[in-house]
Amino acid sequence: MSDWKGSLSRADAIRIFEKATDHDDPHWDYLVEDWYNEDSDTMPSMYHVLAAIGVTEDEYREIHPDANINWPQQSVLMNSIHTCSYHCNRPECIKAQRDELRDSLAAAEADAGRYQDVLQKIQSWCEAYPLDVFPEPDWSEVKDKLGAKLLSRVSASNMRHVVLGVKKLCDDAALQATAQEDQ
């Protein structure tokens, strides 16, 4: 069989799901037995499953206007575990997604600001020793006076000092980010 080239609308997908999960089918009991509640002798209906994946009663009635359905009450749905995608159209999910995105954006903007400050400090360090004030030494003369080994150790020490200073700036910014996340 080759790959199907057609497309389904959301309404088509709901219709297919409904046919595949016909509540009168005895296999439904096997599908939902893990959610059977002994105290109330109840189990989820197809409508509970549809609601949990974001289908609304209005949306279902639009597809099946004459259907006699017992849609779960909103309070039952609000207290149920609900994992949705960003395509969920439940109002409480849309609000939660909006708030999550807003908070993520605010955190990213704060991080960007902190790291922009770090970059500006590093840039100011780069400009702190201009060549017209501090010209490059004659390295062969320095090598002759200090010796190759000492020159290498001095160079490594200077480089280490600069790199550790940059690392400290970055670490401080990361600590600020972590502290802000913990609040």
Q: What is the pLDDT of residue 23?
A: 59
Q: Which two tokens stand for residue 122?
A: 């590093």
Q: What is the pLDDT of residue 147?
A: 94
The verdict on 80 and 15 lying in the same domain is yes
What are the residues facing 37 on neighbouring strands? 42
The verdict on 167 and 112 lying in the same domain is yes
CB atoms < 10 A from the CB of 17, how many?
Answer: 14
Q: What is the pLDDT of residue 24?
A: 66
The verdict on 25 and 82 lying in the same domain is yes
Range(s) of the domain holding residue 155: 105-182
CA 91 to chain centre: 20
* Sequential pLDDT tens for the chain (183 residues): 678 888 888 888 888 877 777 656 667 777 778 888 888 888 888 888 888 788 888 888 888 888 888 888 754 444 444 556 666 667 777 888 888 889 889 888 888 888 888 889 989 988 888 999 999 999 999 999 999 999 999 999 999 999 999 999 888 888 887 777 776
Q: Which two tokens stand for residue 178?
A: 């972590």
In a domain, 172, yes or no: yes
Residues across the chain: 183
Question: What pTM was computed for the model?
Answer: 0.41
The verdict on 109 and 85 lying in the same domain is no
The verdict on 53 and 111 lying in the same domain is no
In a domain, 4, yes or no: no
What are the residues facing 42 on neighbouring strands? 37
What is the share, in percent, of the chain residues with pLDDT greater than 70?
87
The verdict on 84 and 113 lying in the same domain is no
Q: What is the pLDDT of residues 40-87, one digit of tens each?
A: 888 888 888 888 788 888 888 888 888 888 888 754 444 444 556 666
Given 39, 59, 89, the domain boundary residue is 89
Domain count, the chain: 2
